Amino acid sequence: MNAHTQQFNQPPHPNGTAARHGRLFIVSAPSGAGKTTLCNAVLEKLPALSYSISHTTRPPRPGEQDGVDYFFISEQEFKKNIDNHVWAEYARIYDHYYGTSARFIDRQLSEGKDILMDIDYKGARQILDRYPDSITIFIMPPSFEALKNRLVHRGTDCPKIIAKRLAAAEQEMANKKFYQHVVINDALPAAIQALTAIIAHPDAG
């Protein structure tokens, strides 16, 4: 599902030519749909693409690294940054805060770098208010039952959290119509190819 995307207004370059302004790609999906795997694959295929690393107050999971998976900060620091208008978007999810630095986005875009952002639909709407030319992509699981099986078998959450994630997933999936592109993650190689094509050629089709 595609929709028309607008060109950024490009500021004049010092030598008289138009300087390229970066583009922001927002990827959303219900938990367990394979969004992280897809984003990591696209970043490998498109090395010039920057990745927006979120800040969070939740503790790291096994194997996660600060500054790679997330920036892990205290709740006190996070709330201070809310007061200082540091976040382009933020939310409280499962008793922890998550946020995206506006300074990072503004700097990368002004330098002509494209950014891949992995956030939920509520965060996506906040970002679109501030960056209306963003390109939005929703990752869908092949079915709700397949999503449930993935969450159960990955073994990272207790049944109570899984139930919360499934309830949130229904709400996420109900908002897919607001996205310009939808990629169904049924066969992983095909989904990677589809997502890569959207980001590499955002004005095609």
Tell me the pLDDT tens digit for each residue of 39-79: 999 999 999 999 999 999 999 989 999 999 899 999 999 99
Give me the CATH number covering residue 137: 3.40.50.300
Phi first, then psi: what are they for 32, rounded to 5°?
95, 0
Q: In what order do the strands lie in the sheet with 55-56?
A: 71-72, 55-56, 96-101, 87-93
Residue 16 counted as domain residue: no
Considering the domain boundaries, does residue 6 fall inside one? no
Whole-angstrom CA distances from 204 to 3, 37, 63, 69, 181 are 10, 24, 38, 31, 12
* Domain carrying residue 68: 24-200
The reported pLDDT for the residue numbered 167 is 87
Task: Note whether residue 148 is domain-resident.
Answer: yes
Q: What is the pLDDT of residue 156?
A: 73
Looking at the 3D structure of the chain, how many domains does it have? 1
- What pLDDT, on a 0 to 100 scale, did the predictor assign at position 23? 97
How far, in Å, CA of 82 to CA of 89, rounded?
10
What does the pLDDT look like over 105-117, one tens digit per residue? 999 999 999 999 9
Put simply, whether the predicted model's pTM sits higher than 0.85 gets the answer no
Q: Which SS3 state, helix, strand or coil, does residue 130 take?
A: helix
- Give the pLDDT confidence score for residue 19 in this predicted structure: 67
Using CA atoms, how far apart are residues 151 and 107, in angstroms rounded to an integer? Answer: 36
The pLDDT, as a whole number, for residue 4 is 33
What is the structure's pLDDT at 18? 53
Residue 113 lies in a domain: yes
Grouping H, G, I as helix, E, B as strand and the rest as coil, residue 69 is: coil
Q: Give yes or no for a contact between 199 and 134, defined as CB atoms under 8 angstroms apart.
A: no
SS3 196: helix
Burial class (CB in 10 A: 0-12, 13-18, 19+), 168: middle
The total number of residues written for the chain in this structure: 205
Give me the residues of the chain with pLDDT under 50, please. Answer: 1-17
For the chain, give percent helix, strand, coil, nearest 5: 40, 20, 40
- 17 within a domain of the structure (yes/no): no
Residue closest to 30 by CA, chosen among 189, 147, 180, 202: 147
Could you tell me which residues come within 8 angstroms of residue 47 by beta carbon, excluding any fewer than 6 positions away?
A: none
Residue 160 burial by Cβ neighbours in a 10 Å radius (0-12, 13-18, 19+): exposed
